[in-house]
Amino acid sequence: MDERELRERFDAIGVPPSRVHVGALVAEGRRRVKRRRSWQAAGGAALAIGGLLVVPSVVFHPRPGPNLSDGVPVASRTASAPVSPAGSVPAAPCVMTNLPLPKGFTSVSVVAVDPTGRYIVGNGFSGQNFLPVLWTDGKPQALPMRGESVELSAVNSQGVVVGLITENNKDYTFRYQNGRYTKLRTPAGSWRVYPVPEINTVGDIVINAEPSGNTGGKDSIALIWPAGATAAMKIALPDGANVMAITDDGTMIGTMYKNGGAVAGYAWDAQGRTHKLTTPSGQTAAAYAGRGDWATGGLWPRESAVRWNLRTGKLTEFKAPADADLAPAMDGLGPGEKVNAKGWVVVSGYVMRDDGPATLPVPTGLRAVAKDVSDDGLVVGQTVNAADTVVPRTWRC
Amino acid sequence: MRTELEREYVDYVSVRLPHLHRLAYLLCSDAHQADDIVQAALTSLYIGWKRAAGADNLDAYVNRIVVRRYLDERRRRWAKVLLGDAVPEQPSNDEHGLEARDELVTALKALPKGQRAVLVLRFLGDMSVEDTADVLGCSVGNVKSQSSRGLAALRSVLEAGRIASVEGDSRWTSES
């Protein structure tokens, strides 16, 4: 056996599956950074990497009314989740409800809600792998497994679920509908899709892909699977454009990257027009999610969450709540992750409204972490205790 | 730009994770220990990402962190054994059912640790003789001799394994 052969053999060895997942690494890294920060007190050593792992999972809903969902009946709601009239900003605090776990699950991390609040998706864990969970009207269901891991990222108001299946260490975008998985093909060649797929109300699905082996979005392309399609279409966008969301009118929300860094947020509309989202001078921006008239994302170096009005172009910056538990060395909340049709922005576990953060009541000793919000104000997320035990919850706001 | 840094980290780690896991696994021959090594190494990479991302050869830098972690782990385990907490160095991994199928893994496990580490670092980690020596804390000459002895030993173990597998259970007949 010569050295070249040995090299090849090493590369071909079948090793047991790894339980290490990049999301867990980031979570642990942040915890460690936070601990360091508290140890170092006001030392101010700038070795921290703060911020958010932004995995935008926007869901969409037709505008302006609730009755345009392609003939699909408007969903009935859970008894525990009374609906507040759309458009109103309730003065009362939000009401927490427990989201039950499917049988056999000990922990599920909530990811997204559809715009009507009927469907919620989340992921359980088995070692490093994700186990898909769908709640319909508050009732949990463990979806069937495919491959090693099934990670859900979004669901639309028709109950169409999207996410990533991992098979032999390769991620595939999928659509799950009527109890069936459909693998969504990428163009010819070897591509790695990232970060996670998003879907709008009609069922158009978007994601980005980079040539396998590249990192940081190098030579990336943006892909769309129009509703029902299994073959991807490459979206004609300039180099460096990453699509993070698609709204119901086909507008794509995303960010231009240059040399691996975000430069500005963009909206590319269905007519092929490009709209650069307002970026204050001296700042760069990234847009991560959009719905209706709104897009959300963040500014750097200010590290603040922002919301753009896609119609007027108006930029709104959200200040961190006074008691915010900011990531180490962070001045702001970090970028907005989700936005609903009323412009409520989910960022760093908070729901930011024009009148300030929504109050999400929790039992003593727990912390509320919002992940997404429906158009009528159903906040989905979880509570976390000091031991990092996660319990899925909703808050009706 | 911290969120961008984190995105870079996530992108980098997502792609390199299988390789690093393989590296750790072949170093220690234990699935759980490999996970622990990778987890610890990549957590520390997270904390130092801003610096690390600027490294001339990031892959080599990260390989090195994994190896250091492996060596730390060995030291820690050794300490545990000394304290009477019997942690087997090479617990059986039959439940994974994977390595039994790969005679190379079996052969590697049969090698003395020094030789195994040198071979894995040089031929999976793509590290130079000098770098291997540096990270293992031994001389270049030592790496060279361990390397040639390791290769020779591997060869003989593989030959023997081949004969055994042909004579034994036909399901394990090697491909080549």
Considering only residues A203 and B31, tell me which one the structure prediction assigns the higher pLDDT: A203
Question: pLDDT band at residue A73, thresholds of 50, 70 and 90?
Answer: very low
pLDDT (0 to 100) of residue B72: 65
ipTM, interface predicted TM-score of the complex: 0.70
Backbone angles phi, psi at A295, to 5 degrees: -135, 155
Chain A residues closer than 8 Å to B7 by CB: 53-54, 216
Of A176-185, B115-124, B167-176, where does mean pLDDT reach its minimum? B167-176
Chain B residues closer than 8 Å to A284 by CB: 1
Chain B (101-140) residues lying within 8 Å, Cβ to Cβ, of chain A: 101-102, 104-105, 119-120, 123-124
Mean pLDDT confidence for A191-208: 94
B91 touches chain A (CB under 8 A): no
pLDDT (0 to 100) of residue A326: 57
**Pair A336, A320: CB distance under 8 Å:** no
CA distance B86 to chain A (A): 24
Instruction: Count how many residues are written for chain B.
Output: 176
Mean pLDDT confidence for A39-64: 29
Interface contact B13-A14, CB threshold 8 A: no
Interface contact B6-A194, CB threshold 8 A: no
pLDDT surpassing 50 at residue B82: no
A40 touches chain B (CB under 8 A): no
Question: pLDDT band at residue A158, thresholds of 50, 70 and 90?
Answer: very high
pLDDT surpassing 70 at residue A367: yes
* Span A258-281, pLDDT tens digits: 876 788 999 999 888 999 999 999
Neighbours of B34 (CB within 10 A): 27
Chain A residues closer than 8 Å to B98 by CB: 14-16
For A215, which of B12, B49, B102 is closest by C-beta distance? Answer: B12
* Span A82-134, pLDDT tens digits: 333 344 444 578 999 999 999 999 889 999 999 999 999 999 877 657 899 99
When the pLDDT of each residue in chain B is averaged and rounded to a whole number, the result is 71
pLDDT (0 to 100) of residue A91: 54
Backbone angles phi, psi at A121, to 5 degrees: -120, 150
Neighbours of B15 (CB within 10 A): 18
A141-165 burial by CB neighbour count: b if 16+ within 10 A, else e?
ebbeebbbbbbbbbbbbbbbbbbbb
At A202, list the tokens.
């009609």
Token pair 């994700």 in the structure block, residue: A130
Q: Which residue, among A362, A359, A361, has the nearest Cα to A351 in the 3D structure?
A: A359
B149 touches chain A (CB under 8 A): no
Contacts by A277-280 with C-beta closer than 8 Å and gap 24+?
A: A277/A308, A277/A313, A277/A315, A278/A308, A278/A313, A278/A314, A278/A315, A280/A315
Chain A (46-65) residues lying within 8 Å, Cβ to Cβ, of chain B: 47-54
When the pLDDT of each residue in chain A is averaged and rounded to a whole number, the result is 81
Chain B residues closer than 8 Å to A192 by CB: 14-15
pLDDT (0 to 100) of residue B168: 37
Look at residue A375 and give its three-state secondary structure: coil
Question: pLDDT band at residue A62, thresholds of 50, 70 and 90?
Answer: very low
Peptide bond into A82 cis (omega under 30): no
Work out how many CB contacts closer than 8 A connect A with B: 153
Mean pLDDT confidence for A196-215: 90
B155 touches chain A (CB under 8 A): yes
Mean pLDDT confidence for A146-170: 92
Question: pLDDT band at residue B39, thresholds of 50, 70 and 90?
Answer: confident
Interface contact B47-A9, CB threshold 8 A: no
pLDDT (0 to 100) of residue B80: 30
CA distance A47 to chain B (A): 7
CA distance B78 to chain A (A): 24
Considering only residues B89 and B56, tell me which one the structure prediction assigns the higher pLDDT: B56
Interface contact A13-B151, CB threshold 8 A: no
* Span A339-362, pLDDT tens digits: 999 999 999 889 999 999 999 999
Look at residue B111 and give its three-state secondary structure: coil
pLDDT (0 to 100) of residue A80: 34
Considering only residues A295 and B19, tell me which one the structure prediction assigns the higher pLDDT: A295
Task: State the best of A151, A191, A193, A215 to mutate against chain B, taking most chain B CBs within 10 Å.
Answer: A215
Model-level pTM?
Answer: 0.58
Mean pLDDT confidence for A167-190: 93
pLDDT surpassing 60 at residue B84: no
